[in-house]
Structure 1
Amino acid sequence: MKLGLIDIPAANAANNAAIQVAIENTLSRDGTGPNQMGANLDMGGFAILNCPSLTPSSGGATVSVKDAAFGAVGDGVTDDAAAINAAIAHVKSTGGGEVFIPRGTYRIGATIRYLAGVSIIGESMASTTLLWFPSDSAGGVMLDTSNESLHRVTFRELHFTKDVSVTTPVTGILGGSTLTNYNSAVGFFENLLFAKLKYGIRGNAEPTGVGIFDCHFRNIWCTSCFYGLQLFGSGNRIEQPRMTYCDTGIVLDYLNPESYDGHTISGGVFVKNNYDFGIPTASGIRPTVITGTWFEQSTYGIINIINMDTRVMNLSFIGCQLSTSCVDSLFNVWGALGTISVDKCTLISGGVGTAQNFVAPSSANGRLLVTNCQKYDSAGVGSFL
C-alpha cells in the first residue's frame, strides 16, 4: 500500500521521524500510545510494511504482562498465571483493550481466565509460549473463555503446550456459554499453535448451552493433539487450518439440539492424522463445506463416521486434494444419512497399495455424489471419475 506523501527534505529529518512515529502508532492501535504491535512505515519508500490493525482489535488500553504492575517473567520456570490474570483483570477494569505477551516461555500453573472485551496477543506463535505446568502436574484448561462475550476480541500469536510431566488431559482453549448468556460468538482466533494437548480448542464448557459459534479462525495449527478443533457450534469460518499428527484434526460434533457443528473451511493442510475429520455423534452435523484443502497421509482415511445412521445434512468437499496412507478406503461415509458431495477434487495415490476408493452410504437415505474428479495412481497415470 502506497501513501501519497510529499518528500520531506533532510533538514526536516526530526520532523519526518516524528510524523513516522505518529503514523505507526495510528496504524498499530488507536494512535494514543506506543507502537507495541509492530506497525512499520517506510517514509522513504512511502509504504506501510506491516499493519497489524488490519485484523480485528478490541481497541482501548494495551498493557504488557511484563509491566511492573503485573510482573510476568517468561522464563519457563516462574509460574506466570497470576500475573497474566492480573493483567487481564486490569484491562477489563479500564473498559477493555489488549493484553500483550512478549516473547518468552510462560509457565502456567493455573487456568488463565479470559474476561469479555480483552484481546490476548502474543509476539509470535513461534516465540510466545504458554506452557501448562502446575505444581502437581495435573491436567486442566489453559485458557477459559466460557460464558464471557467474544464479541470483537482477538486471540493471536500464541503457542499452547504442556510440560512432559503432565500426562492427564489438557485443553488449550475452552469456550461455550449458557443459553442465557449465548455470547460465545463473533471472536477472532489467528496464528495459534497447539502442540501435544488432548484438545486444541474445545467448545463444550456448557453441555446444555451453546458451543463456540460464528467465529473466525485463521491459521490454527494443531499438532500431536488428540482432537485439534472440536467447537460444537455452527457458522464458524476456518481459514488455512493446519492439522498434523493428531488423532482427529477437526471433529464435527453435536452438543444438544440448539448447538452442533457446521463450518465453512477453506485452504490449509491435513497431514498424517489418524483421521482428518471425525463425526462421533449419530445426531450429526449442520451443512459443512470444505474448499481447496490438501489432505495427505491419514492413517485410516479422511473421514471417520463412528455410528451408523449419522445425520449429515450436507457435507461438501470442493477443489480439494485427497490422499491417504490407508489401504482400505480413502473416503468412507458408510454410516451417513444425508448428502455428501465431492466435486472438482484430485485424488493422489499415497503409495503402492493405498486406497483411492469411496465407500458410499449403506442407507437409501444417504447419498454420495462424486463429480468432476480425477485421480492419479502410484505410477502417476491419471484418469477421470
Structure 2
Amino acid sequence: MMNQFKFRMRILVAILATVVLGGSTITAPDLAVAASVTDYNVKAAPYNAAGDGIADDTAAIQSAINDAQSAGGGVVFFPKGSYKLSSTLHITEHNVQLEGTGKGSSLFLDKGTDAVIHIGTGSGQTTHNKVKNLAIDRSVAPNADIVHSPSYGIRVEGARFTTLDGVTVFNAAYGISVGVKGNAQLNTQFVTILNSNVMTTGSMQPTSVFPGANIVFWSGADYKLSKTFLEPTNIGVLMEGNSNGINIDTTTVINGAPFNYGIMSVGNGFARYIVNSILENAHHQQIYIGGESERVTVANSWIGAGDEEGTTTRLGILIESGAKKVTIADNRIGDQQLQGIFSKGDNVTITGNLLERNVVRNRLNPNNCLSCDSMQIEGGKHVIVNGNRVFSDFDRNGIGLFDDGARKLNYYIVTGNDTSESGSGIHDAATGTSKVVANNL
C-alpha cells in the first residue's frame, strides 16, 4: 500500500509539473526532481536499519533502494549513523539518490574486496542516479590482488548521467571507479564527481601503500572531476584505456606520506584536461602522460613538492615517446628532484610556465642528477617551447634540447624563453632539421 501511495504521489507531482510547464514534455531530469519529493528513510519502517555499526543493515538498505527503483526513483535517506554492510549495494534503475548527512552517515563494508556501492548494469541504460553527502569507509585493508579481487568504494559502470557529490571514501584500492575496465564502448558516460574526498584515514590507519588509485577512469567518456581532495598512497587519478573527454578541475592531489604518482594518463584515451589544480609530493611523477595518450592539456596548475628531501625519482611532468598533441601551459612547476618537464612526445606545446627550483640536490644526495635540465626535450617532432621562465641553482641547463638515441628532435621552435637564472641557459645539442632557436635570454 505504501509503495502504491508513493507512486500515485509521483504521478500527481508529474501532472502538476506538466500543468505548470504549460503542457510541455517532462524529461528524465524533470522526473528525477519529481521523484525526490519522497524520502525512503532507511531507519524508518518498513526498513528499520539500525545504523549502529553492529547489526548488518545490507538487506534493509537494499530494500529501500529497490522500492525507490520500483516507484520510478526517489531519495533513499541515511540519517546520522554507521551502517554495516556484508555485501554490495546495487542501483540498477533510474532517478535514485542515496543521500546522507555528510561524514555522520557512514556505510562500511568489513571485507577487502567488492564495491560498497555499485551503480549500473553494464548495458548503459541506467541513468540519472546520485550519491550525495555519504561516507564510504572500508574497515578492512583492500586485497593486495587488485587484478582478481579488487575493492572499490563506489563503482560506476554501464551507467549514464551519474553524480557523486560530497562523497568521502576511505581505505579502498579504488576509491571511485568509472567505466568498464578494458571496454572500448561508450556504455558509461556523463559522470560528475565534485566536492568529494578520497582518503586513507577513517576507521583504519593504513600500514602500507595501498594498491590501485583514489579515482580511476577505465573507459567511456564525458567525465568531470572538480573541487575534490585526494590523499593517495599509490596513484591519485588514473585515466586508463579508452577513457575520453575527462576534465579534472580545481582538484588537489597531495599526501605528506609516501605515494607514487599524482595523475596518470595511460592507454589510448584522448581529450584529457587537468586545469586549476594542485599536485604535490608524488615520489615519481606528479603528472605522467603515457605513450598512447593524445590531446592532453595541463594548465594553470601548481605542481610542486612540500619538502626537499623526498626521493631522487621525483619529477614534475613526464611526457613519454608516442604521446601526441600535448599542451603544458601557464603552470608553476617547482621543487622536483629531477626535471620540471621532461618531454619525448610529438606535437608538444610548452608555453608560459614558471619552472622554479627544479633539479633539487639535497643533503642526502648532493650530486643528484648532474645531467638533468629544468626543462628537457629529447626526440620528438613539432615541438614549441615559448615564453617560459626558468629559475634553478642546480640544473645543468635551463632548457636542454637533445636527440633521443635514433629519434632525432625535428621541427622545433624555441623562442622568447628566459633562462638567465639557471644553469647554462639553453643548450641545443639536437641534430634534427627545421628548427628555430632564437630570441631567448
Q: Normalised by the size of structure 2, how large is the TM-score?
A: 0.64
Are the counterparts in 1 of residues 266 and 292 from structure 2 also a CA contact under 8 Å?
no
Match of 1:335 among 296, 321, 338: 321
The Cα shift of 1:150 comes to 4.6
Distance in structure 2 (CA, Å) of the matches to 1:165 and 1:303 = 27
Match of 2:349 among 366, 369, 376: 369
The Cα shift of 1:90 comes to 1.1
**1:279 and 2:265 equivalent?**
yes
Q: Percent identity?
A: 15
**1:260 and 2:243 equivalent?**
yes
Match of 1:186 among 161, 179, 185: 161
Distance in structure 1 (CA, Å) of the matches to 2:253 and 2:331 = 15
2:114 maps to amino acid: G
2:321 maps to amino acid: G
Match of 1:212 among 172, 178, 188: 188
Match of 1:311 among 292, 301, 304: 292
1:221-236 to structure 2, matched below 5 A, reads 221-224=197-200, 226-231=212-217, 232-236=219-223
Aligned length: 310
Q: Which blocks of at least 5 consecutive residues in structure 2 are unaligned?
A: 1-9, 14-31, 145-149, 201-209, 361-388, 392-417, 420-441
Distance in structure 2 (CA, Å) of the matches to 1:164 and 1:110 = 13
Are the counterparts in 2 of residues 103 and 122 from structure 1 also a CA contact under 8 Å?
no
Distance in structure 1 (CA, Å) of the matches to 2:180 and 2:330 = 38
1:190-205 to structure 2, matched below 5 A, reads 190-205=165-180
Distance in structure 2 (CA, Å) of the matches to 1:206 and 1:276 = 20
Are the counterparts in 2 of residues 292 and 320 from structure 1 also a CA contact under 8 Å?
yes
SS at match of 2:195: strand
Distance in structure 2 (CA, Å) of the matches to 1:343 and 1:304 = 16
Are the counterparts in 2 of residues 174 and 205 from structure 1 also a CA contact under 8 Å?
no
Q: Call closer, same or farther: CA 1:229–1:245 in 2, change over 3 Å.
A: closer
The Cα shift of 1:249 comes to 1.2
1:190 maps to amino acid: D
**1:113 and 2:94 equivalent?**
no
Are the counterparts in 2 of residues 298 and 323 from structure 1 also a CA contact under 8 Å?
no
1:1-385 to structure 2, matched below 5 A, reads 57=33, 59-133=36-110, 137=111, 139-147=113-121, 149-164=125-140, 167=143, 169-177=150-158, 184-205=159-180, 207-208=182-183, 209-210=185-186, 212-224=188-200, 226-231=212-217, 232-254=219-241, 259-272=242-255, 273-281=259-267, 284-305=268-289, 310-324=291-305, 325-328=310-313, 329-349=315-335, 354-361=337-344, 366-377=346-357, 383=391
The Cα shift of 1:301 comes to 1.2
Distance in structure 1 (CA, Å) of the matches to 2:321 and 2:275 = 23
Are the counterparts in 1 of residues 142 and 173 from structure 2 also a CA contact under 8 Å?
no
Distance in structure 2 (CA, Å) of the matches to 1:304 and 1:346 = 16
CA deviation map 1:311-338 (0-9, x unaligned): 2221111100011445342211123420
Are the counterparts in 2 of residues 348 and 376 from structure 1 also a CA contact under 8 Å?
yes
CA deviation map 1:268-324 (0-9, x unaligned): 21103410112343xx21111111101111111113356xxx222211111000114
Distance in structure 1 (CA, Å) of the matches to 2:331 and 2:265 = 21
Q: Which blocks of at least 5 consecutive residues in structure 1 are unaligned?
A: 1-28, 33-55, 178-183
SS at match of 1:240: strand
SS at match of 2:67: helix
Q: Normalised by the size of structure 1, how large is the TM-score?
A: 0.72
